[in-house]
Amino acid sequence: MKFIITSLKLLRSLQALSGVLNSSNTLPILDDFLFRIQDSELEITASDLETTMIISLVPDLVEGKGEVAIPAKILLDIMKTFPDIPVTFEVNPDTLTIELLAGEGKFKLAGHRSDEFPKLPTIVDTNRVELKGEVLVNAFEKTVFATGNDELRPAMSGVLCELKEEHITFVATDAHKLVRYRRLDAKSDFVASFILPKKPINQLKNILSSRQDETVLIDFNQTNAHFTFSNVKMVCRLIEGRYPNYEAVIPAQNPNKLTIDRAALLNSLRRVAIFANQSTHQVRFKISGQELFLSAEDLDYANEAKERLSCSYEGDDLEIGFNSRFFQEMLNNLDQFEIRLEMSAPNRAGILFPVDNDNENEDILMLVMPVMLNQ
């Protein structure tokens, strides 16, 4: 088994696959990439049992066929050092020794038996939906930051994907903040939902960010989802369990509406939050007339900050507290110049909307729970 491939082409694929690998594995074989040559094509696989990703490449030259597991770390480390030159791989099928020839260099490393590598799960009784890469990238970027890490509530550690005939909705929440990202230009022929874990989301986001024009085929059933686009396949186990009724926590009546420049609010929050209590990160929003007063204090260290911002406001004067970290995360994940904050009472959630969204097919709602104000 022998093939020749340019180092940069191979390195990019290995780096994309390396996101699947764990730093510590129960099975030593999961520290390897599986290389398979078949029909003049090279398939490279990485797996952690929960997520398996395959990238197909066409080498410049192929002789023979077969498969071998190659240690990922040493292969990545050596490939990073090469300029963009052809690299020859020769695999001895008896000893599983891999010989690399690159420029004036010759390198040998020990491979492992491929039959120990986990097999790709077969998915039966699937539903299929097609989505543009751009839809998935934007949906994941806008939602994944709001997922939780509570092991007791695994459903909230992923992103809910709701397929309907009118639109497709992506939801993430950790009980303190919530994001609902809806695409009106993405539709499904059937009603279904599944919860995607964070790891495959980040893998897809990273790879699709440079391939946003591509169409992604998603086949899924109760337990697994299979993503296919161009030369990439990925199978991941879905999170089981019921997602909380997120619509129930979104307040319907919010008479107090504040419109403000997003960047100005974000920069002001960053400054004021430095002086906030480091355990609660509480910042007080006091809205009076057409002015917003931000203030924070840390009584333990006698730290205090106040700042005034101009805004457009409809409603009664209001004083409400928010966790500045959560609020900054939300503002960082919006691109628009202005945002609208809708509120009803100091003990009810505040809802953020982008103002003048250029993409009319995007419907973004971000919710942040208030914190109790110190009197």
Instruction: Say yes or no to pLDDT of 306 above 90.
Output: yes
Checking 46-50 for CB contacts under 8 A at 24+ apart, the result is 46/17, 46/18, 46/20, 46/21, 46/72, 47/20, 47/117, 47/118, 48/20, 48/21, 48/22, 48/199, 49/118, 50/197, 50/199, 50/236, 50/237
| pLDDT bucket at 264, cuts 50 / 70 / 90 | very high
The average pLDDT across 317-322 equals: 96
Q: Residue 12: which residues within 8 A CB-CB, separation 6 or more?
A: none
The CA-based diameter of the chain, rounded to the nearest angstrom, is: 81
Q: Is the dihedral of CA 344, 346, 348, 353 positive or negative?
A: positive
The pLDDT assigned to 120 comes to 86
310 pLDDT higher than 60:
yes
pLDDT at 208: 96
SS3 state of residue 193: strand
User: Do the domains spanning 2-116 and 127-246 agree at the CATH topology level?
Assistant: yes
- Mean of pLDDT over the chain: 95
- What does the pLDDT look like over 117-129, one tens digit per residue? 999 888 889 999 9
Domain boundaries in the chain? 2-116, 127-246, 250-371
| pLDDT, mean of residues 33-54 | 96
Q: What is the pLDDT of residue 177?
A: 97
Q: Determine the average pLDDT of the residues in 265-280.
A: 96
pTM, 2 dp: 0.93
- With bands split at pLDDT 50, 70 and 90, how would you rate the model's confidence at 271? very high
Residue 165 has, within 13 A of its CA and on its CB side, a CA count of: 2
**Nearest in space to 115 (alpha carbons), one of 165, 69, 172, 170:** 69
Mean pLDDT of 286-294: 96
Residue 370 has pLDDT above 90, yes or no: yes
CATH number of the 127-246 domain? 3.10.150.10
Q: What is the pLDDT of residue 355?
A: 95
From the candidate CATH numbers 3.30.70.980, 2.40.30.170, 3.40.50.1820, 3.10.150.10, the one assigned to the domain spanning 250-371: 3.10.150.10
Fold of 2-116: DNA Polymerase III; Chain A, domain 2 (3.10.150)
According to the model, what pLDDT value does residue 375 have? 56
The pLDDT value recorded for residue 41 is 96
